[in-house]
């Protein structure tokens, strides 16, 4: 494969994670050190940065400062949720992208994101090929949801899982402190796949976990749910439940929408809505008369870099590095993914390339065989899968007792 | 002062913290090593454990395991919110306490808790003196609320403050990732005192903090609040607000009650209530049309041992240790508190004894001069006060990538 010389663009897209910047840094650092890559450009707010010619010169950042990206949560280059049209319907955006690529002689494009981002990657790659513009396009995955097809797991999941398992252990202790009754309901992210919610079972594995766990993979029956909670509460005076935001009934109606149904105006005439955890807490409180608390982990679970998994950080960095190395070696139109190996029983992870067409827009769910028959608990298979992914503590820089996150100069790139 | 020989009881009371067990461990370990203390008993669920003769023998715990208490959140001995009656009205409980003390020849009583616990301590101490039963009674403070009178700060505050400042920094990054508008409202605990909410200003001090901070110390005007949010949002397309659960209007009505006002039945006929953050988020969304997210830190802020402040852990341990040492040396009817020293400009903390009568039921608020004039921001004075309290990282034991918390045997004590 002939050497391809030119600039590269890296962009980030979709919801951020604690480690998406570790992947971006892996790609940026490797690209800056590569002989084939003449210039490393960062697209601000993902593909929008390309469309608006809003690019920064990563070579103009101080290397020490840039290295802090590895432990900084959220997307340091900014993100977007911009969805490209089907090029056969409207290729305006694609022509603009090609124009900007030509302007900077961009021969490498690295896109760091989830399902939609891999779709974007795929469409751009196909368009450039069709138009005979030589550019190597690589997807670098990230998503706390862990729902990308092909890859064994996704960068970002391990850290969110570690945060969730740890927080659930801590809440477990807190919620048992009084000898009076207490029911606690914790809500995790995950609209269609229950990987994050399942991660709470890692706390149970340590003996400090939920009594009941509900994933979107199994239809949710609010009466069965109430019965299960009441049974455990009657026996133990305590019950800890973890639910996914995406739980829905057999008709596909999200349980969160049960709450919306009762959306009413407050004293100021504004719609008032508490969310799923709050809805279920009030529902169970009314049914049992018990003290019930609903806790929504909200954004905290996807940005808690202070408790990121070292394994996840290093694998995320490796994914970004591999994307550049493989592209320079000639690969294109692929997503970097992970393959799990066990070397004398010890977990190991290697990168592997997946066809973008396969990955784009497919969704990987938690296998039914990892969920108990009643659909309210997680089995050993998941523990074995997830435990290696949360190993190791972050070594993020601390300044005055608080994290020291990256501060980029963001020098506008000139053609 | 003559040496007093006998058993000791230690109990924990009130809402738990990340480090209340560090204080309990400081007291237990020191008592186990003391020549004057013949036996160390733990009261399960605070004073209720004494009233119900539900005591465990701390000497029967494995020392290595017991040491894990130092980094285990929540109250390992269990807590209660039992309030003793005024002995002049009804001394039944006090007589029972004296009876149990006599049964085990208890000559030292250590009570680890907040305002109400110091009141309990004070009443028991006075009753025992009145009845000529020699027993040295010491209060060991804890409260994330940091509102105990006398002491410079309270064990538990530093860790909660570190959690809040760190989480706010992380949410700050997450909430700015898109180039679209976003308003985020974070709710912290603190019904009457705004110490915890003020701690979010430590993130601002690092350049990653809230635009607006509202404490219960200043009456809250929802129209002024809306105007301030709108102004910042118009300018920056982003606005990050941190509010205390205890904010109230000039008439003393809690803003959270504005939400209650619109409490209505959901489709199942149950009252539905979202809480303060959710109420304000919906209120601002209706006013601005912006994307708004409300986040309640809930229990997480008081049990997040994984990010406890090392300074707080060590000072909490020291408070428990000092309680025992001072009692053995003859002190009684006191609470151990902290005095701040600056040794060549460097923060140092020493224990100091405070009269229980002074401490009991008094509440320390955030000084008005540490809050800006408009009442929506925190000034340098607070930063200087709080920054030393969040220094240092915990070294809690990790097993399989998750915290290893204490598992007590809880062997029932025999007389």
Residue B149 lies in a domain: no
Question: Is residue B171 domain-shared with residue B275, that is, in the same domain?
Answer: yes
- Which residue in A144, A146, A140 sits closest to A15, CA to CA? A144
ipTM exceeding the 0.90 mark = yes
pLDDT in tens, A36-84: 999 999 999 999 999 999 999 999 999 999 999 999 999 999 999 898 9
Question: Is residue A33 domain-shared with residue A43, that is, in the same domain?
Answer: yes
Question: Is residue A178 domain-shared with residue A251, that is, in the same domain?
Answer: yes
Q: Does the distance separating the beta carbons of A300 and B170 come in below 8 Å?
A: yes
Q: Is residue B273 very low, low, confident or very high in pLDDT (cuts 50, 70, 90)?
A: very low
pLDDT in tens, B176-231: 999 999 999 999 999 999 999 999 999 998 889 999 999 999 999 999 999 999 99
Q: Does the distance separating the beta carbons of B273 and A273 come in below 8 Å?
A: no
For testing the chain A interface, which of B298, B314, B392, B406 should be mutated: the one with the most A CBs within 10 Å?
B298
pLDDT in tens, A280-303: 999 999 999 999 999 999 999 999
Per DSSP, the three-state class of A276 is helix
Give the single-character DSSP code of A136.
E
Q: What is the residue-wise DSSP string for B257-323?
A: HHHHHT-EE-TTS-EE---HHHHHHHHHHHHH---EEEEE-TTHHHH-GGG-BHHHHHHHHHHHHHH
Residue A384 a catalytic site member: no
Question: Is residue A299 domain-shared with residue A323, that is, in the same domain?
Answer: no
Question: Is residue B96 domain-shared with residue B78, that is, in the same domain?
Answer: yes
Closest residue of A to B268, CA-based? A283
Question: Is residue B11 domain-shared with residue B96, that is, in the same domain?
Answer: yes
pLDDT in tens, A85-113: 999 999 999 999 999 999 999 999 999 99
Question: Is residue B24 domain-shared with residue B134, that is, in the same domain?
Answer: yes
Q: Determine contact, residues A211/A239, Cβ cutoff 8 Å.
A: yes
Question: Is residue B239 domain-shared with residue B132, that is, in the same domain?
Answer: no
Measured between alpha carbons, how far is A100 from A360 in angstroms, rounded to an integer? 24
Residue A49 lies in a domain: yes
Q: Is A384 on the interface with B (CB under 8 A)?
A: no
Measured between alpha carbons, how far is A271 from A264 in angstroms, rounded to an integer? 5
**Residue with tokens 């809402």, as numbered in its chain:** B15
**In CATH, what number is assigned to the domain containing residue A104?**
3.40.50.450
Residue A321 lies in a domain: yes
Q: How many CA atoms lie within 13 A of B76 on its CB side?
A: 29
Measured between alpha carbons, how far is A307 from A163 in angstroms, rounded to an integer? 6
Residues of B with Cβ-Cβ distance to A72 under 8 angstroms = 173
The answer to whether the pTM exceeds 0.80 is yes
**In CATH, what number is assigned to the domain containing residue B286?**
3.40.50.460
Residue A90 lies in a domain: yes
Measured between alpha carbons, how far is B274 from B294 in angstroms, rounded to an integer? 10
Min distance B167 CA to chain A CA atoms (Å): 7
Q: Is residue B139 very low, low, confident or very high in pLDDT (cuts 50, 70, 90)?
A: very high
> Which residues constitute the domain of residue A329?
6-143+305-338+346-362+394-403
Residue B387 lies in a domain: no
Q: Is B390 on the interface with A (CB under 8 A)?
A: yes
Question: Is residue A285 domain-shared with residue A326, that is, in the same domain?
Answer: no
Q: Determine contact, residues A313/B312, Cβ cutoff 8 Å.
A: no
Q: Is residue A261 very low, low, confident or very high in pLDDT (cuts 50, 70, 90)?
A: low
Question: Is residue A297 domain-shared with residue A172, that is, in the same domain?
Answer: yes
Min distance B267 CA to chain A CA atoms (Å): 6
Q: Among residues 140-179 of chain B, which lie with CB inside 8 Å of chain A?
A: 162, 165-167, 169-171, 173-179
Q: Does the distance separating the beta carbons of A306 and B170 come in below 8 Å?
A: yes
Question: Is residue A268 domain-shared with residue A180, that is, in the same domain?
Answer: yes
Residue B386 lies in a domain: no
Q: Does the distance separating the beta carbons of B278 and A74 come in below 8 Å?
A: no
Domains held by chain B: number: 2
Contacts of residue A228, Cβ cutoff 8 Å, sequence gap at least 6: A212, A374, A376
Residue A135 lies in a domain: yes
Residue A291 lies in a domain: yes
pLDDT in tens, B88-106: 999 999 999 999 999 999 9
Question: Is residue A199 domain-shared with residue A170, that is, in the same domain?
Answer: yes
Q: Give the H/E segment covering residue A239.
A: strand A238-244
Q: Among residues 44-103 of chain B, which lie with CB inside 8 Å of chain A?
A: 44-45, 48, 72-75, 78-81
């Amino acid at each position: 494969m002939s050497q391809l010389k030119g600039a590269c663009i890296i962009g980030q897209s979709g919801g951020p994670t604690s480690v998406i910047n570790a992947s971006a840094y892996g790609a940026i650092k490797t690209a800056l050190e590569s002989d084939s890559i003449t210039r490393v450009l960062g697209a601000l707010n993902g593909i929008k940065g390309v469309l608006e010619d809003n690019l920064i010169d990563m070579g103009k950042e101080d290397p020490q400062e840039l290295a802090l990206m590895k432990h900084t949560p959220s997307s340091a280059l900014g993100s977007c949720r911009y969805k490209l049209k089907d090029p056969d319907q409207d290729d305006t955006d694609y022509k603009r992208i090609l124009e900007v690529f030509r302007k900077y002689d961009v021969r490498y494009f690295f896109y760091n994101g989830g399902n939609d981002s891999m779709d974007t990657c795929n469409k751009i790659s196909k368009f450039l090929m069709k138009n005979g513009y030589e550019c190597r396009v690589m997807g670098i995955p990230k998503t706390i949801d862990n729902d990308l097809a092909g890859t064994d797991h996704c960068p970002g999941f391990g850290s969110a899982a570690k945060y969730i398992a740890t927080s659930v252990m801590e809440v477990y202790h807190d919620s048992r402190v009084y000898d009076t009754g207490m029911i606690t309901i914790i809500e995790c992210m995950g609209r269609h796949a229950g990987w994050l919610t399942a991660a709470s079972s890692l706390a149970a594995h340590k003996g400090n976990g939920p009594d009941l766990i509900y994933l979107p993979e199994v239809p949710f029956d609010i009466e069965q749910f109430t019965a299960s909670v009441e049974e455990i509460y009657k026996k133990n005076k305590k019950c800890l439940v973890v639910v996914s935001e995406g739980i829905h009934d057999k008709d596909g109606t999200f349980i969160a929408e049960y709450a919306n149904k009762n959306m009413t105006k407050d004293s100021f005439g504004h719609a008032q809505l508490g969310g799923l955890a709050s809805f279920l807490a009030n529902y169970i409180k009314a049914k049992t008369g018990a003290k019930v608390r609903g806790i929504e982990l909200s954004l905290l679970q996807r940005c808690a870099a202070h408790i990121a998994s070292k394994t996840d950080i290093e694998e995320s960095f490796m994914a970004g590095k591999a994307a550049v190395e493989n592209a320079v070696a000639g690969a294109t139109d692929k997503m970097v993914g992970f393959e799990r190996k066990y070397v004398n029983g010890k977990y190991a992870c290697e990168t592997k390339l997946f066809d973008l067409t396969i990955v784009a827009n497919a969704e990987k769910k938690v296998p039914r065989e990892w969920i108990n028959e009643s659909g309210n608990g997680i089995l050993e298979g998941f523990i074995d899968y997830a435990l290696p992914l949360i190993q190791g503590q972050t070594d993020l820089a601390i300044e005055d007792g608080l994290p020291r996150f990256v501060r980029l100069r963001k020098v506008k790139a000139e053609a």
